[in-house]
Amino acid sequence: MSNRQFVLACLTPLFIFSLAFLALPLVRLFLASGEGENGWAIYLDILRKPRYLNTLWMTVLVSISVTFTALAISTTAGMFLSRNRFRGRGVLLSIMTLPLAFPGVVIGFLIILLGGRQGLINQITPGHVVFAYSVIGLFLGYLYFSIPRVLLTVMAAAEKLDPPLEEAARTLGASPYRVVIDVILPGLMPSLIAAGAIAFATAMGAFGTAFTLATNIDVLPMVIYTEFTLSANIAMASALSIVLGIVTWALLLIARSLSGTTVAAGG
């Protein structure tokens, strides 16, 4: 067997697998989205029917607020953790990255323990404070899995920042505040955009958390799920999946071209 044949043989299992279980199913999904009573106009329906449009807006809104909150928190914490060496730093870092592998359902449950009817906040505060099942719960759940992802990206970028650049700015008379604005943030910017896109795409597609919170807030993945299982509206579920898939894929493509890192969406 020649070298070229061997290399091609090596790619064959991948090719067959992704054809059978990725390409063909996705084509089927796309075709299914046009098999409803309205045909391909279903994509216009998404924009016309308030139920879907509101869902879309709600999902985008929650995802945007999660993205910016996670960026603010993780950048602050990430810079702090990468610039300071102190006892317990490793522990803090572990705590902040461990949730990476928690599935969305577990995170939903953790939010219930925090803000549910039997949750911590309800127990230690007077009155009835339950937020787990509202949009706040959803927001906190998404924030929970976004913080570690953004933090890792920011810390990786912070380590690559060139310290002499900051020192140069200081010798030129810049205050620490100006150094942050003029040197550190621009240096981190590609990674921040990338991390933001990842957080946004992850929040858009998150299913497990919303599922566990059994929230009455309509977010896109929940609507897809109910359309498919309860209403048996397979065409709409497929169309919404296609839209969601394209949005998250495009965002992560941008993210990767800016940072060159791979972080899983999922959750």
Partner 1 sequence: MHKSKAKMLQLIVTLSACAFLFVPTILSVMAGVTANYFQGISSGLTLKWVFRVWELYADSIFLSLWLAIACLFCTLLIGLPAAYGLARHPGWLSRILEEFISLPLAVPGLALALALLQLYGSMKGFRASWTFILVGHVLYTLPFMVRSILAVLAAIDLKTLEEGAATLGASPWQRFRDIVVPNAMPGILAGALTVVTLSIGEFNLTWMLHTPYLKTLPVGLADSYASMRLEVASAYTLVFFVLIVPLLMAMQWASARAQRIAQ
Residue number, 199 or 201, with CB nearest to partner 1:
201
Q: Which of 34, 187, 190, 266 binds partner 1 (CB under 8 A)?
A: 266
Told to check if 17 binds partner 1 by CB under 8 A, we report yes
Q: What distance, in Å, lies between the first and last C-alpha atoms of the chain?
A: 44
Phi, psi of 261 (to 5 degrees): -110, 160
Please give the single-letter amino acid code of residue 235. Answer: A
Told to check if 244 binds partner 1 by CB under 8 A, we report yes
Residue number, 50 or 229, with CB nearest to partner 1:
229
Q: Which of residues 21-40 bind partner 1 (CB under 8 A)?
A: 21-26, 28-29, 32
Q: Which of residues 119-138 bind partner 1 (CB under 8 A)?
A: 120
Please give the single-letter amino acid code of residue 103. Answer: P
Length of the chain: 267
Told to check if 224 binds partner 1 by CB under 8 A, we report yes
Near partner 1 by CB under 8 A, which window of 47-55, 69-77, 163-171, 188-196? 69-77
What is the helix, strand, coil percentage profile of the chain, to 5?
80, 0, 20
In the bound complex, what is the minimum distance in angstroms from residue 41's beta carbon to partner 1?
20
Give the H/E segment covering residue 103: none
Told to check if 150 binds partner 1 by CB under 8 A, we report no
Sequence-distant (6+) residues with CB within 8 A of 105 are 208, 209, 211, 212
Structure tokens at 71: 């960026």
Query: Cβ of 180: how many Cβ atoms within 10 Å?
Result: 15
Residue number, 66 or 204, with CB nearest to partner 1:
204
Residue number, 43 or 211, with CB nearest to partner 1:
211
Residue number, 49 or 160, with CB nearest to partner 1:
160
In the bound complex, what is the minimum distance in angstroms from residue 231's beta carbon to partner 1?
14
